[in-house]
Copies of this chain bind each other. A is one copy, B any other.
Amino acid sequence: MEERAMTSKLSALILAGGFGTRLWPSSREHKPKHLLALTGDNSLMRDTFLRVAPMIASEQVYVVTGESHVQEVRAQLPELPHGNIIVEPQGKGTAPCIGLSALYMKRRNPDGIMASLHADHVIADAEGFRWALRSAAVLAEKGYIVTLGITPRWAETGFGYIERGERVANTDAGDAYQVVRFTEKPDADTAQRFISTGRFYWNSGIFVWKLSRILEEIRTLLPDLHKHLEEIDAAIGSPQEREVLEAVWPRIQSVTIDVGIMERAERVAVVPISVGWNDVGSWKAVWEMMSADDDGNVVAGKHIGLDTSNTLIWGGERLIATIGLDDMLIVDTEDVVLVCRKERSQDVKMLVEALRREKKNRYL
Protein backbone atom coordinates (compact mmCIF):
# COMPACT_ATOMS: atom_id res chain seq x y z
CA MET A 1 0.00 0.00 0.00
CA GLU A 2 2.62 2.48 1.08
CA GLU A 3 4.87 1.57 -1.81
CA ARG A 4 2.11 1.95 -4.35
CA ALA A 5 1.27 5.40 -2.98
CA MET A 6 4.92 6.35 -3.16
CA THR A 7 5.34 5.02 -6.70
CA SER A 8 2.39 7.04 -7.93
CA LYS A 9 4.26 10.12 -6.77
CA LEU A 10 7.35 9.15 -8.76
CA SER A 11 8.09 11.00 -11.97
CA ALA A 12 11.12 10.66 -14.19
CA LEU A 13 13.07 13.51 -15.69
CA ILE A 14 15.20 12.44 -18.63
CA LEU A 15 18.07 14.84 -19.22
CA ALA A 16 18.53 14.96 -22.97
CA GLY A 17 20.84 17.91 -23.42
CA GLY A 18 24.42 17.99 -24.55
CA PHE A 19 26.14 16.68 -27.58
CA GLY A 20 28.20 13.73 -26.36
CA THR A 21 31.39 15.20 -27.72
CA ARG A 22 33.49 12.19 -26.84
CA LEU A 23 31.48 9.98 -29.16
CA TRP A 24 32.29 12.20 -32.12
CA PRO A 25 32.22 11.67 -35.08
CA SER A 26 29.11 9.50 -34.62
CA SER A 27 27.56 12.01 -32.26
CA ARG A 28 27.09 15.46 -33.74
CA GLU A 29 25.32 18.62 -32.71
CA HIS A 30 22.34 17.68 -34.87
CA LYS A 31 22.42 14.04 -33.76
CA PRO A 32 23.77 13.88 -30.21
CA LYS A 33 24.76 10.73 -28.43
CA HIS A 34 21.43 10.05 -26.68
CA LEU A 35 19.65 10.04 -30.05
CA LEU A 36 22.00 7.40 -31.46
CA ALA A 37 21.15 3.71 -31.52
CA LEU A 38 24.51 2.61 -30.18
CA THR A 39 23.53 -0.65 -28.58
CA GLY A 40 20.70 -1.94 -30.70
CA ASP A 41 17.62 -0.75 -32.52
CA ASN A 42 16.62 1.93 -30.04
CA SER A 43 18.37 5.15 -29.22
CA LEU A 44 19.88 5.41 -25.75
CA MET A 45 17.13 7.92 -24.87
CA ARG A 46 14.36 5.57 -25.89
CA ASP A 47 16.00 2.77 -23.92
CA THR A 48 16.06 5.09 -20.90
CA PHE A 49 12.34 5.70 -21.35
CA LEU A 50 11.53 2.01 -21.80
CA ARG A 51 13.61 1.08 -18.77
CA VAL A 52 11.33 2.99 -16.40
CA ALA A 53 8.08 2.42 -18.32
CA PRO A 54 7.07 -0.62 -16.22
CA MET A 55 7.03 1.53 -13.07
CA ILE A 56 6.43 5.10 -14.30
CA ALA A 57 3.54 5.89 -16.66
CA SER A 58 4.49 7.93 -19.69
CA GLU A 59 2.39 10.87 -18.44
CA GLN A 60 4.82 10.98 -15.53
CA VAL A 61 7.93 11.04 -17.71
CA TYR A 62 9.48 14.37 -18.71
CA VAL A 63 12.30 15.09 -21.09
CA VAL A 64 14.35 18.27 -20.94
CA THR A 65 16.19 19.11 -24.13
CA GLY A 66 17.25 21.88 -26.48
CA GLU A 67 14.92 23.50 -29.01
CA SER A 68 16.69 21.92 -31.97
CA HIS A 69 16.06 18.39 -30.69
CA VAL A 70 12.37 18.64 -29.78
CA GLN A 71 11.21 17.14 -33.08
CA GLU A 72 13.52 14.18 -32.78
CA VAL A 73 12.51 13.56 -29.14
CA ARG A 74 8.85 13.56 -30.17
CA ALA A 75 9.59 11.16 -33.00
CA GLN A 76 11.52 8.78 -30.77
CA LEU A 77 9.10 8.95 -27.83
CA PRO A 78 5.62 9.06 -29.39
CA GLU A 79 4.14 7.86 -26.06
CA LEU A 80 5.18 11.07 -24.35
CA PRO A 81 2.59 13.88 -24.02
CA HIS A 82 3.97 16.87 -25.93
CA GLY A 83 3.60 18.99 -22.81
CA ASN A 84 6.15 16.75 -21.08
CA ILE A 85 8.97 18.00 -23.23
CA ILE A 86 10.66 20.85 -21.43
CA VAL A 87 12.76 23.14 -23.59
CA GLU A 88 15.96 24.61 -22.24
CA PRO A 89 16.97 27.70 -24.28
CA GLN A 90 20.68 26.98 -23.83
CA GLY A 91 22.70 24.43 -21.94
CA LYS A 92 23.54 25.81 -18.46
CA GLY A 93 24.65 22.68 -16.68
CA THR A 94 22.41 20.29 -14.79
CA ALA A 95 21.38 22.52 -11.84
CA PRO A 96 19.39 25.12 -13.84
CA CYS A 97 18.03 22.38 -16.10
CA ILE A 98 16.77 20.30 -13.16
CA GLY A 99 15.48 23.42 -11.39
CA LEU A 100 13.50 24.50 -14.45
CA SER A 101 12.06 21.02 -14.91
CA ALA A 102 11.10 20.84 -11.23
CA LEU A 103 8.99 24.00 -11.69
CA TYR A 104 6.90 22.30 -14.36
CA MET A 105 6.73 18.97 -12.59
CA LYS A 106 5.63 20.33 -9.21
CA ARG A 107 2.62 22.04 -10.84
CA ARG A 108 1.26 18.66 -11.81
CA ASN A 109 2.46 16.86 -8.72
CA PRO A 110 3.21 19.18 -5.80
CA ASP A 111 4.16 16.29 -3.52
CA GLY A 112 5.99 14.49 -6.31
CA ILE A 113 9.32 12.72 -6.32
CA MET A 114 11.68 13.17 -9.26
CA ALA A 115 14.10 10.56 -10.53
CA SER A 116 16.60 12.48 -12.61
CA LEU A 117 18.02 10.22 -15.30
CA HIS A 118 20.54 10.80 -18.04
CA ALA A 119 19.24 10.02 -21.52
CA ASP A 120 22.56 8.58 -22.63
CA HIS A 121 23.40 5.90 -20.08
CA VAL A 122 23.24 2.18 -20.69
CA ILE A 123 21.95 -0.14 -17.95
CA ALA A 124 22.04 -3.85 -18.64
CA ASP A 125 19.84 -4.96 -15.73
CA ALA A 126 16.68 -2.88 -16.06
CA GLU A 127 14.82 -4.83 -13.39
CA GLY A 128 17.62 -4.36 -10.84
CA PHE A 129 17.66 -0.69 -11.74
CA ARG A 130 13.94 -0.33 -11.08
CA TRP A 131 14.37 -2.02 -7.70
CA ALA A 132 17.02 0.52 -6.82
CA LEU A 133 14.79 3.38 -7.99
CA ARG A 134 12.03 2.08 -5.70
CA SER A 135 14.42 2.00 -2.74
CA ALA A 136 15.62 5.48 -3.59
CA ALA A 137 12.04 6.75 -3.83
CA VAL A 138 11.27 5.38 -0.36
CA LEU A 139 14.25 7.31 1.02
CA ALA A 140 13.35 10.43 -0.98
CA GLU A 141 9.85 10.31 0.48
CA LYS A 142 11.50 10.47 3.91
CA GLY A 143 13.25 13.65 2.86
CA TYR A 144 16.59 12.37 1.62
CA ILE A 145 18.40 13.46 -1.46
CA VAL A 146 19.30 10.10 -2.91
CA THR A 147 21.97 9.21 -5.40
CA LEU A 148 22.50 5.86 -7.06
CA GLY A 149 26.11 4.84 -6.51
CA ILE A 150 27.69 2.38 -8.91
CA THR A 151 29.71 -0.39 -7.26
CA PRO A 152 33.11 0.31 -8.88
CA ARG A 153 34.38 -2.29 -11.30
CA TRP A 154 37.87 -0.79 -11.69
CA ALA A 155 39.88 2.22 -10.50
CA GLU A 156 38.35 4.61 -13.02
CA THR A 157 39.77 8.12 -13.03
CA GLY A 158 37.11 9.51 -15.34
CA PHE A 159 34.26 9.51 -12.81
CA GLY A 160 33.51 11.33 -9.56
CA TYR A 161 33.21 9.12 -6.48
CA ILE A 162 30.79 9.01 -3.54
CA GLU A 163 32.06 8.01 -0.10
CA ARG A 164 29.53 6.29 2.08
CA GLY A 165 29.18 6.53 5.86
CA GLU A 166 26.70 4.89 8.23
CA ARG A 167 23.95 2.66 6.96
CA VAL A 168 20.63 4.47 6.81
CA ALA A 169 18.75 2.83 9.67
CA ASN A 170 15.29 1.42 9.80
CA THR A 171 14.05 1.91 6.24
CA ASP A 172 12.33 -0.24 3.64
CA ALA A 173 14.96 0.93 1.26
CA GLY A 174 17.24 -2.08 1.33
CA ASP A 175 20.91 -1.24 1.21
CA ALA A 176 21.45 2.50 1.67
CA TYR A 177 24.06 4.69 3.31
CA GLN A 178 24.59 8.23 4.43
CA VAL A 179 26.87 10.06 2.02
CA VAL A 180 30.05 11.39 3.64
CA ARG A 181 31.17 13.29 0.58
CA PHE A 182 31.25 13.60 -3.17
CA THR A 183 34.69 13.80 -4.74
CA GLU A 184 35.82 15.01 -8.13
CA LYS A 185 37.59 12.72 -10.57
CA PRO A 186 40.58 11.27 -8.66
CA ASP A 187 44.07 10.50 -9.90
CA ALA A 188 44.94 6.85 -10.46
CA ASP A 189 46.45 6.26 -6.99
CA THR A 190 43.53 7.89 -5.24
CA ALA A 191 41.06 5.90 -7.32
CA GLN A 192 42.88 2.71 -6.37
CA ARG A 193 42.78 3.67 -2.68
CA PHE A 194 39.06 4.52 -2.96
CA ILE A 195 38.04 1.18 -4.35
CA SER A 196 40.24 -0.80 -1.96
CA THR A 197 38.29 0.61 1.01
CA GLY A 198 34.98 -0.76 -0.29
CA ARG A 199 33.33 2.49 0.83
CA PHE A 200 33.32 4.36 -2.47
CA TYR A 201 30.91 4.34 -5.37
CA TRP A 202 31.04 5.84 -8.83
CA ASN A 203 28.80 8.88 -9.08
CA SER A 204 26.25 7.94 -11.72
CA GLY A 205 24.59 11.34 -11.76
CA ILE A 206 21.27 9.60 -11.21
CA PHE A 207 19.38 11.31 -8.38
CA VAL A 208 16.03 10.89 -6.67
CA TRP A 209 14.42 13.60 -4.52
CA LYS A 210 11.20 15.25 -3.61
CA LEU A 211 10.51 18.17 -5.95
CA SER A 212 10.03 20.35 -2.87
CA ARG A 213 13.37 19.27 -1.43
CA ILE A 214 15.45 20.01 -4.53
CA LEU A 215 13.79 23.39 -5.03
CA GLU A 216 14.44 24.17 -1.39
CA GLU A 217 18.12 23.24 -1.80
CA ILE A 218 18.36 25.51 -4.84
CA ARG A 219 16.84 28.33 -2.78
CA THR A 220 19.40 27.82 -0.01
CA LEU A 221 22.55 26.92 -1.95
CA LEU A 222 22.04 28.65 -5.31
CA PRO A 223 20.05 31.78 -4.42
CA ASP A 224 20.74 33.52 -7.73
CA LEU A 225 19.43 30.57 -9.69
CA HIS A 226 16.45 30.45 -7.36
CA LYS A 227 15.65 34.10 -8.06
CA HIS A 228 15.75 33.51 -11.83
CA LEU A 229 13.63 30.38 -11.53
CA GLU A 230 11.03 32.36 -9.57
CA GLU A 231 10.79 34.87 -12.42
CA ILE A 232 10.24 32.02 -14.85
CA ASP A 233 7.79 30.28 -12.53
CA ALA A 234 5.66 33.40 -12.32
CA ALA A 235 5.27 33.39 -16.11
CA ILE A 236 4.54 29.68 -16.58
CA GLY A 237 1.09 29.22 -18.09
CA SER A 238 0.90 32.85 -19.16
CA PRO A 239 1.25 34.08 -22.76
CA GLN A 240 4.64 35.49 -21.79
CA GLU A 241 6.00 32.13 -20.60
CA ARG A 242 8.34 31.55 -23.55
CA GLU A 243 9.41 35.16 -23.77
CA VAL A 244 10.28 35.36 -20.07
CA LEU A 245 12.14 32.03 -20.17
CA GLU A 246 14.22 33.22 -23.10
CA ALA A 247 14.92 36.56 -21.46
CA VAL A 248 15.87 35.14 -18.06
CA TRP A 249 17.77 32.02 -19.12
CA PRO A 250 20.83 33.70 -20.64
CA ARG A 251 21.44 35.49 -17.35
CA ILE A 252 21.66 32.21 -15.42
CA GLN A 253 25.13 31.04 -14.46
CA SER A 254 26.11 27.56 -15.55
CA VAL A 255 26.50 25.12 -12.67
CA THR A 256 26.22 21.38 -12.28
CA ILE A 257 23.93 19.83 -9.72
CA ASP A 258 26.96 17.98 -8.30
CA VAL A 259 28.97 21.10 -7.58
CA GLY A 260 26.02 23.36 -6.82
CA ILE A 261 23.99 21.05 -4.59
CA MET A 262 25.27 17.54 -3.99
CA GLU A 263 28.68 18.45 -2.62
CA ARG A 264 27.12 20.86 -0.11
CA ALA A 265 23.73 19.43 0.84
CA GLU A 266 22.88 17.62 4.09
CA ARG A 267 20.87 14.39 4.42
CA VAL A 268 22.17 12.80 1.26
CA ALA A 269 21.97 9.01 0.91
CA VAL A 270 23.48 6.60 -1.57
CA VAL A 271 21.78 3.45 -2.83
CA PRO A 272 24.43 1.11 -4.26
CA ILE A 273 23.67 -0.53 -7.58
CA SER A 274 25.37 -3.21 -9.66
CA VAL A 275 23.21 -3.23 -12.74
CA GLY A 276 25.66 -3.11 -15.63
CA TRP A 277 25.70 0.65 -15.75
CA ASN A 278 27.76 2.36 -18.43
CA ASP A 279 27.69 6.06 -19.17
CA VAL A 280 29.06 5.38 -22.67
CA GLY A 281 31.30 8.33 -21.99
CA SER A 282 33.84 7.49 -24.67
CA TRP A 283 34.53 5.10 -27.51
CA LYS A 284 36.57 3.07 -25.04
CA ALA A 285 33.40 2.69 -22.99
CA VAL A 286 31.57 1.49 -26.11
CA TRP A 287 34.30 -1.09 -26.66
CA GLU A 288 34.04 -2.23 -23.02
CA MET A 289 30.28 -2.44 -23.16
CA MET A 290 29.86 -4.47 -26.34
CA SER A 291 30.67 -8.15 -26.58
CA ALA A 292 34.00 -8.69 -28.29
CA ASP A 293 35.10 -11.51 -30.59
CA ASP A 294 37.91 -13.93 -29.74
CA ASP A 295 40.53 -11.33 -30.62
CA GLY A 296 38.94 -8.76 -28.36
CA ASN A 297 37.60 -6.79 -31.30
CA VAL A 298 34.21 -5.14 -31.28
CA VAL A 299 33.02 -4.82 -34.85
CA ALA A 300 30.03 -2.97 -36.25
CA GLY A 301 29.92 -2.76 -40.04
CA LYS A 302 32.27 -4.31 -42.58
CA HIS A 303 35.75 -5.30 -41.50
CA ILE A 304 38.67 -7.28 -42.82
CA GLY A 305 41.78 -7.49 -40.68
CA LEU A 306 45.16 -9.10 -40.13
CA ASP A 307 46.60 -9.28 -36.60
CA THR A 308 44.05 -6.90 -35.19
CA SER A 309 43.09 -7.17 -31.54
CA ASN A 310 41.28 -5.34 -28.73
CA THR A 311 40.11 -2.81 -31.23
CA LEU A 312 36.79 -1.09 -31.83
CA ILE A 313 35.84 -1.10 -35.51
CA TRP A 314 32.75 1.06 -35.76
CA GLY A 315 31.75 1.51 -39.34
CA GLY A 316 28.86 1.79 -41.69
CA GLU A 317 28.74 1.23 -45.42
CA ARG A 318 32.43 1.28 -46.15
CA LEU A 319 34.94 -1.53 -45.63
CA ILE A 320 37.40 -0.98 -42.79
CA ALA A 321 40.66 -2.86 -43.40
CA THR A 322 43.20 -3.17 -40.59
CA ILE A 323 46.69 -4.64 -40.20
CA GLY A 324 48.75 -4.95 -37.04
CA LEU A 325 46.53 -2.96 -34.71
CA ASP A 326 46.04 -3.41 -30.97
CA ASP A 327 44.02 -1.29 -28.58
CA MET A 328 42.74 1.10 -31.21
CA LEU A 329 39.49 2.82 -32.02
CA ILE A 330 38.31 3.31 -35.59
CA VAL A 331 35.05 5.12 -36.15
CA ASP A 332 33.97 5.61 -39.72
CA THR A 333 31.12 7.92 -40.68
CA GLU A 334 29.98 9.40 -43.95
CA ASP A 335 32.25 12.44 -43.83
CA VAL A 336 34.81 11.67 -41.11
CA VAL A 337 36.98 8.76 -40.08
CA LEU A 338 38.51 8.77 -36.59
CA VAL A 339 41.56 6.67 -35.74
CA CYS A 340 42.57 6.88 -32.08
CA ARG A 341 44.59 4.93 -29.54
CA LYS A 342 42.08 3.44 -27.14
CA GLU A 343 43.62 4.95 -24.01
CA ARG A 344 43.31 8.39 -25.61
CA SER A 345 39.57 8.11 -26.12
CA GLN A 346 38.82 10.97 -23.71
CA ASP A 347 40.79 13.29 -25.96
CA VAL A 348 38.25 13.06 -28.75
CA LYS A 349 36.73 15.98 -26.87
CA MET A 350 39.88 18.06 -27.43
CA LEU A 351 39.75 17.28 -31.09
CA VAL A 352 36.16 18.47 -31.32
CA GLU A 353 37.17 21.65 -29.50
CA ALA A 354 39.93 22.15 -32.04
CA LEU A 355 37.41 21.81 -34.88
CA ARG A 356 35.22 24.36 -33.14
CA ARG A 357 38.12 26.80 -32.75
CA GLU A 358 38.97 26.35 -36.41
CA LYS A 359 35.30 26.96 -37.28
CA LYS A 360 35.01 23.66 -39.12
CA ASN A 361 31.36 23.58 -38.22
CA ARG A 362 30.39 21.09 -40.88
CA TYR A 363 32.10 18.41 -38.81
CA LEU A 364 30.46 19.33 -35.50
Which residues on A are within 8 Å of B, measured CB to CB? 25, 304-307, 315, 317-325, 328, 330, 332, 334-341, 343-344, 347-348, 350-351, 354-355, 358, 360, 363
Q: Tell me whether B307 and A335 are in contact (CB under 8 A).
A: no
Instruction: Given the known inter-chain contacts A304-B354, A304-B355, A339-B339, please indicate yes or no for A347 contacting B324, CB distance below 8 A.
Output: yes
Q: Tell me whether B337 and A323 are in contact (CB under 8 A).
A: no
* Oligomer: number of copies: 2
**Chain B residues in 8 Å Cβ range of A317:** 335
Q: Tell me whether A320 and B306 are in contact (CB under 8 A).
A: no
Closest CB-CB distance, A352 to chain B, in whole Å? 9
Q: Tell me whether B306 and A351 are in contact (CB under 8 A).
A: yes
Closest CB-CB distance, A345 to chain B, in whole Å? 8
**Chain B residues in 8 Å Cβ range of A340:** 321-325
Closest CB-CB distance, A348 to chain B, in whole Å? 7
Q: Tell me whether A351 and B307 are in contact (CB under 8 A).
A: no
Select one of B318, B321, B336 contacting A339, CB under 8 A.
Answer: B321
**Chain B residues in 8 Å Cβ range of A319:** 25, 335-337, 360, 363
Q: Tell me whether B304 and A318 are in contact (CB under 8 A).
A: no
Q: Tell me whether B320 and A337 are in contact (CB under 8 A).
A: yes
Q: Tell me whether A335 and B355 are in contact (CB under 8 A).
A: no
Nearest B-chain residue to A311, judged by Cβ? B339
Instruction: Given the known inter-chain contacts A304-B351, A337-B337, A351-B304, please indicate yes or no for A343 contacting B324, CB distance below 8 A.
Output: yes
Interface centre among A320, A321, A351 (most CB of B within 10 A): A321
**Chain B residues in 8 Å Cβ range of A351:** 304-306, 321, 323
Closest CB-CB distance, A303 to chain B, in whole Å? 10
CA distance A327 to B137 in the complex (A): 54
**Chain B residues in 8 Å Cβ range of A322:** 338-340
Closest CB-CB distance, A317 to chain B, in whole Å? 8
**Chain B residues in 8 Å Cβ range of A332:** 337
**Chain B residues in 8 Å Cβ range of A304:** 351, 354-355, 358, 360
Select one of B318, B324, B328, B337 contacting A321, CB under 8 A.
Answer: B337
**Chain B residues in 8 Å Cβ range of A330:** 337, 339
Nearest B-chain residue to A334, judged by Cβ? B318
Instruction: Given the known inter-chain contacts A332-B337, A339-B330, A339-B339, please indicate yes or no for A323 contacting B306, CB distance below 8 A.
Output: no
**Chain B residues in 8 Å Cβ range of A25:** 319, 321
**Chain B residues in 8 Å Cβ range of A337:** 315, 318-321, 330, 332, 337
21 A-B pairs within 8 Å (CB atoms) are namely A25-B319, A305-B351, A306-B350, A317-B335, A318-B334, A318-B335, A318-B336, A319-B360, A321-B337, A322-B338, A322-B340, A323-B341, A324-B341, A324-B343, A324-B344, A324-B347, A325-B339, A325-B341, A330-B339, A332-B337, A339-B339
